[in-house]
Amino acid sequence: MQFFFEALIGGLLSGVMYSLVALGFVLIFKASGVFNFAQGAMVFFAALTVVGFIGKGVPLPLAIVLAFGAMVLLGLATERFVLRKLVGQPPISLFMATIGLAFFIEGLAPMLWGSEVRPIELGIQDEPIPWLLERFDIVVSRFDLVASGIAAALVAVLAIFFQKTRIGRALRAVADDHQAALSIGIPLERIWAIVWAVAGFVALVAGLLWGSRNGVQFALTFTALKALPVLVLGGFDSVAGAIVGGLIIGASEKLAEIYLPPLMQAGFGGNFGGIEGWFPYVLALLFLLVRPEGLFGEKHIDRV
């Protein structure tokens, strides 16, 4: 039982990390209707830029600020040179353009900063919390807990930003209807620039946390693949969905990885590790059959 709880907590905590990446997707989708496949590449780019600046002797806080600047520039360039030219194209075209963008960034980032795996030190120790270990005999990493705290804080800030501020209201208006937002005087281009900057910031935070856990390397781009089932489960346009979806995916994938292979081994023989790779997708797929718009997604009505 205790083992179960340990796995569950570990899964939930890593689920928070998935949510963090999924959040970047949701932000851009909510405010511009673009499903940005390049989010994983942006996470990679952000982390690599921070490490790259540190390698040049820049202190960590300044490196983070500089990397944020780079992310904003990247977002602005994307908006200016790609998205603006694709206004009015079907969403699938925009999606494929972001696949192209992902490839572009995946080539650009290592060309600027080199492609070897590098550590990043945030000053949080990755060790079990003694209090929980003594009291309940459960191993929970301090790093995971802090990372979840940061993610939770970020989500809270973003939720307030979207709901309470003027810019947040403008963002939601743009997401609802580009034309109507334009006609009441909301500057569309500036709004998109803000959204990409915010998404860049989220990618930066995700990149720092994921990078300090596993090292800054190309595999960071796969965080996007981890976040996609989270999105499907939670709904593409819901911040809350990204959180809840992340928790569900994180927990279920850890539990599946632990409890399914022995069952399958009993049935078929052989080694059945690595379920983590597809289990979230199949879970999300089965869920879609029941509720196509996701947990918190908006129901869509098609008109001819």
Partner 1 sequence: MLYREAGQFKASFAEDMQIFPIRQDRIAMVLLLAFAFLGVPLFASEYWFSAILIPFLIFALASLGLNILTGYCGQLSLGTAAFMAVGAYAAYNFQLRVEGIPILVSFALAGFTAAAVGVLFGLPSLRIKGFYLAVATLAAQFFIVWCLTKFPWLSNNSSSGVISTQKIRILGIAFDSPAAKYLLVLTIVTLMALAAKNLARSTTGRAWMAVRDMDVAAQVIGIPLMHTKLTAFAVSSFYCGVAGALYAFCYLGSVEPDGFSLDLSFRILFMVIIGGVGTVLGSFLGAAFILLLPILLDTTLLPTAHALGLPFSNATVSHIQTMVFGALIMFFLIVEPHGLARLWQITKEKLRLWPFPH
Task: Report the interface residues with partner 1, using CB under 8 A.
Answer: 35, 82, 85-86, 89, 91-93, 95-97, 99-108, 110-111, 115, 225, 228-229, 231-232, 236, 268, 270-272, 274-275, 277-278, 281-282, 284-285, 288-289, 292, 302-304
- Nearest-approach distance from CB 194 to partner 1, in angstroms: 22
Residue 35 C-beta: closest distance to partner 1, Å = 5
Return d(Cα 238, Cα 297) in angstroms, integer: 6
Q: Which is nearer to partner 1, 56 or 85 (CB)?
A: 85
- Cα 243 to Cα 89: distance, rounded to the nearest angstrom: 30
- Comparison of 115 and 163: residue with beta carbon closer to partner 1: 115
b/e per residue 107-116 (b: at least 16 CB within 10 A) = eebbeebeee
Contacts for 93 with CB less than 8 Å, ≥ 6 apart = 86
Q: Which is nearer to partner 1, 107 or 187 (CB)?
A: 107
Q: Round to whole Å and give the CA distance between 243 and 234.
A: 8
Most distant CA atoms of the chain, gap in Å: 65
Write down the least CB distance from residue 119 to partner 1, Å.
20
Instruction: Considering the complex, state which of residue 18 and residue 170 has its C-beta at the smaller distance from partner 1.
Output: 18
Q: What's the min distance (Å) between Cβ of 80 and partner 1?
A: 12
How buried is residue 290: exposed, middle or buried, by Cβ count under 10 Å (0-12/13-18/19+)?
exposed
Distance of closest approach, residue 203 Cβ to partner 1, in angstroms: 17
C-beta of 110 vs 168, nearer to partner 1: 110
Q: Give 83's DSSP letter.
A: I
Q: How far is the CB of 156 from partner 1 (least distance, A)?
A: 27
Q: With respect to partner 1, which residue has the nearer C-beta, 85 or 190?
A: 85
Indicate the burial class of 231 (C-beta count within 10 angstroms; 0-12, 13-18, 19 or more).
Answer: buried
